[in-house]
Amino acid sequence: MIQNENKQNNPQNNPPRRSFSPSHNRSGSFGYNRQGHNNPNQRAYPAQQTTNQQSEQRRRSAPFHADSLAFNNRPSTVTQTIPQQTHIATNRPPFRDDRNHVVSRPHISTATKSQLKNRKMSPKMRPGGSSPKGKKGPDVIPPLKDGDIRIIPLGGSEEIGKNMIAVEYKNDIIVIDAGMQFKTEETPGIDYILPNTKYLEERRGKIRGLVITHGHLDHIGGIPYVIERLGNPPIYTREFGALLIKKRQSEFPHLPELNIKISGPHDEFLPITPDLKIKFFGLTHSIPDSTGVIISTPHGDIINTGDVRVENDNGIVADKEFEQYALFKDRKILLLTMDSTGVEKPGWTISEKIVIKTIDKIVSEVTGRIVIATFASQVERIIAFIDMAKRYGKKIVIEGRSMKNNVEILKHLNLADTSHIVNVEDMLDYPPHKMMILSTGAQGEEFAALMRMANNSHKFIKLNKTDTIILSSSVIPGNERAITGLKDNLYRHDAHIITYYDTDVHAGGHGKREELSWIHKQIPYKFFMPVHGHHYMLKMHAELANSLGTPRENIIVPDNGSIVEISNNGEKITVLKEKAPSDMVMVDGFSIGGIQEVVIRDRQMLAQDGMFVIIASINTTTGKLKKSPDIISRGFVYLRESQELLKDARHIIKRTVENASAGMNPIDFDYIKDLVTDEIGKYLFQHTAKRPMVIPVIIGV
């Protein structure tokens, strides 16, 4: 707040350095001391009294910077005339770089002269500049030429998650999906990661619709955070996806109601603009109403598959798959953008029918209670489990918030008979062999239902050796350690544990290599762009397309923000050297936006080596410490067992501060903080091999 005030009142926006003028009075020439009394040797001006009162008030509210701010705004000499101004910045002297004059100061020690002369100036101290040299600004993106088509993957092309693609033609933009990504090890403390929509925000008047392929969070999770930024365009999707979107949107009651347009399975092309039409086509995934989307343009169709697999029986493709892709044979396909998540896995995904058949056999033979843990997004499998329990006369308990939400939607759509679902509080009213529990938490999430059962912290469900637990899910990369801990705790109950390593109790929702090859052969496209995956997955998918006959020059492997253009009436595809903004946009508590790299880096440092806080009081007249520095450590060393380390650290702090401040008038607090940080950082690393975050707090008295 104070810095903003200073900037507003300094037209140059170049905060000056303090001068080491001989006319400074080291005994208190600034007319102010700790108690707020005026120096009797100096006249007190009204504006200066106001400044002193403001400084004292800021000292109490902001101890880290109060004294340096106070010194920044005092007159440089005793005889300076203070104008009657209330703004602090007007009291500053003209800029001077005093490093060239240090050698002529007889009262400054040789060591201090060397330090002052050779030190690096902070951005505030540089002549003609008030901020560090900035990073390269965003690219200036050229306007789209008339008749060309622009495709920009804004998310999902360098990671799995936060999927979003923009298709632009003339003055119209259609956006495909608006997903989110969960935090990674590189983003500690972050809630979610979103696609960067700055390109779309700057062209929000051109956005004609948001098209959703299916209801998984990596395709709809970002809608509550970005929909207003996009101008609240209409959302086109199938019925099940619409219900999931509405359910999630209900968690954000402050947002306006969404304009959702539901497309039926037999609907033809829907005109969005005079030049662009869309059509959904059915495909196989792990959630009802999964679709791909066709965007019809004057030069041909642009196809996005969403997430896709192929239903098969040991490599024999089901008849329904041929029916779903038959519509492409007579169409001009300009560009295919396709899911790449499973491309590195050879062969075919096992059929979902085999998974259901395997679990059905287990349920029919189990004599005790059965617990099935799966992804709440595996809706079709959940429907099968509910029907299975009904067939064997079992009651069902649903555990996990997301699982309960999806079951409520199934009930609303009459996709399953839920009459035999009971509350968890009532499960003891039924014998164990008549109970089935459907639960979330197969990935080892700390507070998920299955983990609470494993830890004996669940209020109603206590596992025992007669239970059979089926983990009907695969291991998501990065969750290996959590799942290992989950299994350890489950096995401590002597229950019977079944995983997809043991038998066919899980099938992925993303097609493996042979399935993707089959889809390529069904769609006669001209250009190909792999999406939905890490870069190496996209490269592998590009190699697959090339091996199937697509020329290399017709294949584009994009990054997030790559601007792909199809020109010459659909005959040429290129990637511009300019890129759309693609920096990470994060949901961090109530904050949504780009978190500065330094914030993430600080969190990583604190997690690795902890912090070392130094609080030192310095006499601004003598440059000596008022007392031994206070030290606070968190996550670094146990202070009670490191007294020798602390003793040496205090000695280094005292020596560094007093040597640096000797002969310095006024005292440069920023410079001293930097010196203390460097010296203590070196010392701690030499004696502990750790690099904690050193935070010096220097208070002038």
Domain ranges of the chain: 2-125, 149-347+509-580, 352-498, 594-700
List residues with catalytic annotation.
Answer: 339, 510
Q: What is the CATH number of domain 594-700?
A: 3.10.20.580
The two structure tokens encoding residue 54 = 């403001």
Strand-pair partners of 622: none
* Arithmetic mean of pLDDT, 57-79: 36
Residue 185 is predicted with a pLDDT of: 67
Residue 475 is predicted with a pLDDT of: 82
Topology of domain 149-347+509-580, per CATH?
A: Metallo-beta-lactamase; Chain A (3.60.15)
Confidence tier at 447 by pLDDT (50, 70, 90): confident
> Can you tell me the distance from the alpha carbon of 179 to that of 194, in angstroms, rounded to the nearest whole number?
7
Nearest to 675 by CA among 19, 65, 115: 115
Q: In the CATH hierarchy, which top-level class contains the domain 352-498?
A: alpha beta
Confidence tier at 594 by pLDDT (50, 70, 90): low
> Can you tell me the distance from the alpha carbon of 348 to that of 320, in angstroms, rounded to the nearest whole number?
17
pLDDT digits (tens, 9 = 90+) for 369-384: 999 999 888 888 999 9
* Arithmetic mean of pLDDT, 352-359: 93
Question: Range with the lowest mean pLDDT among 198-207, 411-420, 468-477, 597-606?
Answer: 597-606
pLDDT digits (tens, 9 = 90+) for 636-662: 887 788 888 989 999 999 999 988 888
> Can you tell me the distance from the alpha carbon of 684 to that of 597, in angstroms, rounded to the nearest whole number?
25
Residue 265 is predicted with a pLDDT of: 86
Residue 497 is predicted with a pLDDT of: 94
> Can you tell me the distance from the alpha carbon of 322 to that of 320, in angstroms, rounded to the nearest whole number?
5
b/e code 264-298 from CB counts within 10 Å (16+ = b): eeeeeebebeeebbbbbbbbbbbbbbbbbbbbbbe
pTM above 0.75, yes or no: no
Confidence tier at 42 by pLDDT (50, 70, 90): very low
Nearest to 354 by CA among 383, 376, 392, 381: 381
